[in-house]
């Protein structure tokens, strides 16, 4: 995979969630599709963490019942055009870096899901949509190489 492309709608959803929870970590799930021709993931739907999510300055945990229900509903409603791609969350940093806990979580998600899973992290300190490229990182775990990789993020101003 060469890149992860976010739609404008997905970017706005993340921005709104970070603005609401601007002093603590927040996050949720990413939905979209993989385009083999462009070797890219396209993220066009973002799910928030849910009403029972744990949001603390250095910790975020999704409300799994809510998140799984929303994933199932949106994937089913899309007639198969959407699929679960991974997770997103924010960090109390300007330029985020994955923690050891993040990498362990990504490893477990990838092994448990059986496919490549994306983890994107957005720095919520002085978060500014105009600087989103500097304030975000995406990481994948490659099972066959037993290695983590950072993947370029692209933020589109249109829908797909």
As a whole number, mean pLDDT of residues 32-55 equals: 96
Average pLDDT score, the chain: 95
Q: How many Å apart are CA 47 and CA 70, to the nearest integer?
A: 7
Give the pLDDT of residue 39: 92
pTM assigned to the model: 0.95
Provide the phi-psi class of 50: left if phi over 0, else alpha when psi is between -120 and 50, else beta.
left
pLDDT of residue 81: 94
**What whole-number percentage of the chain has pLDDT above 70?**
100
- Strands 3-6 and 27-35 turn out to be unpaired
Q: Which stretch of DSSP H or E encloses residue 107? A: helix 100-113
Residue ranges and CATH numbers for the domains of the chain are: 3-155 (3.40.140.10)
In this predicted structure, what is the pLDDT of residue 98? 97
pLDDT at 7: 96
Q: Is the pLDDT reported for residue 160 higher than 80?
A: no
Model confidence at 157: pLDDT above 80: no
Give the model's pLDDT for residue 80. Answer: 87
pLDDT in tens, 102-153: 999 999 999 988 888 999 999 999 999 999 999 999 999 999 999 999 999 9
Cα 14 to Cα 123: distance, rounded to the nearest angstrom: 11
């Amino acid at each position: 995979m060469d890149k992860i492309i976010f739609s404008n709608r997905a970017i706005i959803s993340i921005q709104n969630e970070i603005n609401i929870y601007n002093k603590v970590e927040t996050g949720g799930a990413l939905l979209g599709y993989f385009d083999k021709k462009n070797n890219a993931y396209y993220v066009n739907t973002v799910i928030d963490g849910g009403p029972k999510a744990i949001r603390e300055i250095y910790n975020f945990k999704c409300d799994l019942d809510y998140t799984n229900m929303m994933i199932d509903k949106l994937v089913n409603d899309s007639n198969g055009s959407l699929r679960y791609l991974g997770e997103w969350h924010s960090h109390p940093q300007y330029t985020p870096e994955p923690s050891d806990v993040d990498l362990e979580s990504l490893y477990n998600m990838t092994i448990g899901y059986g496919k490549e899973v994306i983890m994107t992290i957005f720095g919520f300190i002085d978060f500014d949509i105009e600087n989103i490229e500097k304030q975000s990182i995406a990481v994948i775990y490659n099972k066959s190489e037993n290695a983590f990789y950072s993947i370029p993020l692209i933020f589109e101003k249109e829908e797909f």
